[in-house]
C-alpha cells in the first residue's frame, strides 16, 4: 500500500504563511561608481548573469535588473552602471541621485583608482540623505593580487573612517560577487526598509495585446465619431 506518511501534529499548519501569501516586491535603485576600467560593468554582469564578459567602456550609463529573494521579501534591483570617464562626470549625479545603494568600485592593482573613489565619495555625500543610502566600498580585481597597490587594510580603514561597508571581489573569477549582492540586499532592506517608507513596492505591468479587438486601449476615445 506504500509508505506511511508522517502524521502532522495537532495544530500544525501543512503550509507555511510564506507559501500561502505572495511575497511583496520592492524596487531598489543601485548605482556603481568609479574610474573607467575598474570593472564596474563586469561586476554588473556577474550580478545579473553570474558570468564574466569583457566589456567596452560604458557610454553615459547602462541599466540592468536583478531580482533577489530574501526570506520574507523580494527586492528588484535596478542597477545603474555609470561611465567612469571624466567627460561624463557632470551628468553622473543624474543617475545616482535617489539611489538606495551605491557601490564605490576601485581596482586593487591601481592606486589612482582608489584615490578617485574617494573623490566619487565626496560627490555622493553631497547628494544623499544619511540613512537613505547604503554605501559600499568595493576593491575589485582580486585576481590581480600579485600586482596589488592598495592593501586590504587601506580599503578597510577608509571604509571604517567614512562609515562604509567594505568587500574585495573579483569580477573575473566571481569571487565574493554573489555574497556582495546578497549582503547589499540584506543591508538595504534592514537600513532603508519598507517600514521607513524608503522603498516603494514594485508592481509588474500587465501585458496588453493591442491586436485584440476587445482589449481596452488607454488611447481610445470614449465617444463615437460620426453618425
Ordered by where they begin, the domains of the chain are 20-196 (3.40.50.300)
More confident residue, 147 or 192: 147
Which one of 8-17, 64-73, 136-145 scores highest in mean pLDDT? 136-145
Alpha carbon 70 to its chain's center = 14
Q: What are phi and psi of 38, to 5 degrees?
A: -85, -10
Q: What is the pLDDT of residue 125?
A: 82
Strand pairing category for 61-69 and 74-82: antiparallel
Q: Mean pLDDT for the chain?
A: 77
State the pTM of this model.
0.75
> How does residue 115 score in pLDDT terms, banded at 50, 70 and 90?
very high
Residue 123's pLDDT band (boundaries 50, 70, 90)? confident
Question: Is the pLDDT reported for residue 10 higher than 90?
Answer: no
Which of 17-26, 118-127, 128-137 bottoms out in mean pLDDT, i.e. has the lowest?
A: 17-26
3-state helix, strand, coil in the chain (%, to 5): 35, 20, 45
The grid cell for 31 is 548605482
Higher pLDDT, 41 or 169: 169
State the average pLDDT over residues 135-155: 97
Given a cut of 90, whether residue 54 has pLDDT beyond it is no
Decide if pLDDT at 107 tops 60: yes
Q: What are phi and psi of 91, to 5 degrees?
A: -95, -10
Name the residue with higher pLDDT: 12 or 28: 28
Contact indicator for 161, 121 with CB cutoff of 8 Å: no
Structure confidence at residue 46 (pLDDT): 92
Amino acid at each position: 500500500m506504500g509508505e506511511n506518511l508522517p502524521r502532522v501534529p495537532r495544530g500544525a499548519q501543512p503550509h507555511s504563511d510564506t507559501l500561502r501569501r505572495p511575497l511583496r516586491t520592492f524596487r531598489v535603485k543601485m548605482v556603481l561608481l568609479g574610474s573607467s576600467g575598474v570593472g564596474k560593468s563586469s561586476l554588473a554582469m556577474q550580478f545579473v548573469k553570474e558570468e564574466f564578459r569583457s566589456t567596452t567602456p560604458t557610454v553615459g550609463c547602462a541599466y540592468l535588473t536583478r531580482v533577489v529573494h530574501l526570506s520574507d521579501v523580494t527586492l528588484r534591483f535596478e542597477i545603474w552602471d555609470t561611465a567612469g570617464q571624466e567627460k561624463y562626470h557632470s551628468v553622473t549625479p543624474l543617475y545616482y541621485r535617489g539611489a538606495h545603494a551605491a557601490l564605490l568600485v576601485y581596482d586593487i592593482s591601481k592606486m589612482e583608482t582608489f584615490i578617485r573613489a574617494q573623490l566619487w565619495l565626496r560627490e555622493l555625500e553631497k547628494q544623499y540623505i544619511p540613512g537613505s543610502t547604503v554605501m559600499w566600498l568595493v576593491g575589485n580585481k582580486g585576481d590581480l593580487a600579485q600586482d596589488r597597490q592598495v592593501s586590504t587594510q587601506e580599503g578597510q580603514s577608509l571604509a571604517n573612517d567614512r562609515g562604509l561597508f567594505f568587500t574585495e571581489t573579483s569580477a573575473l573569477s566571481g569571487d565574493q560577487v554573489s555574497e556582495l549582492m546578497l549582503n547589499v540586499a540584506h543591508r538595504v532592506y534592514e537600513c532603508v526598509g519598507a517600514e521607513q517608507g524608503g522603498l516603494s513596492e514594485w508592481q509588474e505591468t500587465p501585458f496588453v495585446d493591442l491586436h485584440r479587438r476587445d482589449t481596452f486601449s488607454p488611447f481610445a476615445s470614449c465617444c463615437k465619431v460620426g453618425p
